[in-house]
Amino acid sequence: MKNRRSQAAWAALFLAPSAIPLALFTLWPMVSSIRISFERWNLISAPVFVGPANYVKLLTSPLTAEVFGHTLAYVLGYLPLVYVGGLALALALNAKLPARAFFRAIYFLPVVTSWVVVALVWKWLLNPSNGIVNALLGAVGLPQPGWWTDPNWAMASVVLASAWKDLGFVMVILLAGLQAIPGDVLEAARIDGASTWRTFRHVTLPMLTPSTFFVVVISLIKGFQGFDQVDVMKGGGRQGSSQVAVEQIYDLTFRYGRAGEAAALSWLLFGVILIITAIQLWGQRKWVHYA
């Protein structure tokens, strides 16, 4: 008994360095935001309790649907791009290439790079007047869009930068999935005379579905939480066309002094992500094959 108690004390001691900051900077703000979501608070004067008014206002405002629409558009652009790109990279780097460890590291580098740095680099690349992308497009006679300064192109710019940054993450997960496919299965397919495409389509892809499922769930959640990239590349963003949910939460709090509504919107976003993830978990039985 005494022994067990001292074990618990030791466990608490070792957990403390991460548990205390987690409680202080994640759990406490989360709990507080529930309270704030029922208040009217402009950050300058004291908060006032208003009941569910913030939720009612958000759910009846057309702007909420608009913001979630933009968020969905972002996710729908981002997800296929990052998955197909990551899969192509994983397949290429799964082959016996010279220096492939080096390339794997290179492609993973953007994942661990700060969003602020990545977004600034992409702003330069996509600079409408003197960026390299438009210079190349111009050289081959293609139209040169206004990218992030043009409200019609701002979302595309953000999607492009986001997919590029997260490519390495998807690549690593899928690469691990590819390496877990037993060599004898692929060999059997080859002996049976299956073409490379058929092997890929009917052996590799199905056996990769657990990794694919993981990537889709994580990327969707990430997509719905997108903020840093939109905020830094906000040229056209602040003017509405690429206003995503978290950006709206930020604006409501720090620009418009409506922290209560912002907290309520956070919880709505949480609900949306929860529902989508639950649907995915339920749906995965139909298409994910665990070997």
Partner 1 sequence: MFHRPLKLAAAIAVSLLALTACAQGSATTTGGNATTAASAAPVTVTYMNFGANGGHEKDLDAISAAFTKAHPNITVKIETVPYADYFTKLQTAVAAGTAADAFELNSENFVSYSSNGALAEIAGAPTASYKPSLLQAFAKDGKQYGLPESFSDVVLFYNADLFKAAGVATPTKDWTWADEQAAAAKLTDKSKKVWGDYQPISFYEFYKALAQTGGQFLSPDGKKVAFNSPEGVKAANWIIGKPGKTMPTQADGVGTPDFDTKLFSDGKLAMWHSGIWMFDGLQKAAFNWDIVVEPGDTTKASAMFANAAVVNAKAKNAEAAQKWVAFLTSSDEMVQTRLASSWELPPIADTAKVSAYLTKGKPTNRQAVFDSLDKTVLPPVIASEQEMQDAVTKELTSAAAGRKTVDQALKDAETAVNALLK
Nearer to partner 1, 69 or 240 (CB): 240
State which of residues 5, 130, 282, 285 lies at the interface with partner 1 (CB under 8 A): 130
Enumerate residues 6+ apart whose C-beta is below 8 A from 109.
168
Tell me if 26 contacts partner 1 by CB under 8 A: yes
Span interacting with partner 1, options 84-92, 103-111, 156-164, 260-268, rule CB under 8 A: 260-268
Nearer to partner 1, 87 or 244 (CB): 244
Other Cβ atoms less than 10 A from the Cβ of 183: the count is 8
Amino acid at 115: W
State which residue, 64 or 149, has the beta carbon closest to partner 1: 149
Angle between helices 62-94 and 209-224 (to 10 degrees): 140
Q: Is 267 in the site for partner 1 (CB under 8 A)?
A: yes
Nearest approach in angstroms of CB 81 to partner 1 is: 22
Q: Is the distance from CB of 250 to CB of 230 less than 8 angstroms? A: no
Residue 55 binds to partner 1 (criterion: CB under 8 A): no
Alpha-carbon Rg of the chain, whole angstroms? 23
16, 20, 24, 25: which one binds partner 1 (CB under 8 A):
25
3-state secondary structure of 16: helix
Q: Does the protein bind partner 1 through residue 257 (CB under 8 A)? A: yes
Q: Report the C-alpha gap between 229 and 162 in whole angstroms.
A: 7
3-state secondary structure of 289: coil
Binding segment (CB under 8 A) for partner 1, from list 48-56, 175-183, 242-250, 280-288? 242-250
207 lies in the binding site for partner 1 (CB under 8 A): no
User: What is the distance between the alpha carbons of residues 18 and 146, in angstroms, rounded to a whole number?
Assistant: 45
Judged by CB, which is closer to partner 1: 185, or 251?
251
Q: How far is the CB of 34 from partner 1 (least distance, A)?
A: 10
Please state the closest distance from residue 166 (CB atom) to partner 1, in A: 16
Using CA atoms, how far apart are residues 168 and 55, in angstroms rounded to an integer?
A: 38
How many Cα atoms occupy the beta-carbon half-sphere of 86 within 13 Å?
A: 32
Exactly one of 38, 50, 238, 280 binds partner 1 (CB under 8 A); that residue is: 238
Four-residue CA torsion sign, 250, 252, 258, 260: negative
Taking CB under 8 A as the rule, does residue 43 contact partner 1?
Answer: yes
Which residue's CB is nearer to partner 1, number 80 or number 240?
Answer: 240
Count other C-beta atoms under 10 Å from residue 89's C-beta: 20
Q: Are 147 and 122 in contact (CB under 8 A)?
A: no
For binding to partner 1 (CB under 8 A), which residues are involved?
Answer: 25-26, 29-30, 33, 42-45, 127-130, 144-146, 148-152, 224-225, 227-228, 231, 235-236, 238-240, 246, 249-251, 253-257, 262-263, 266-267, 269-270, 273
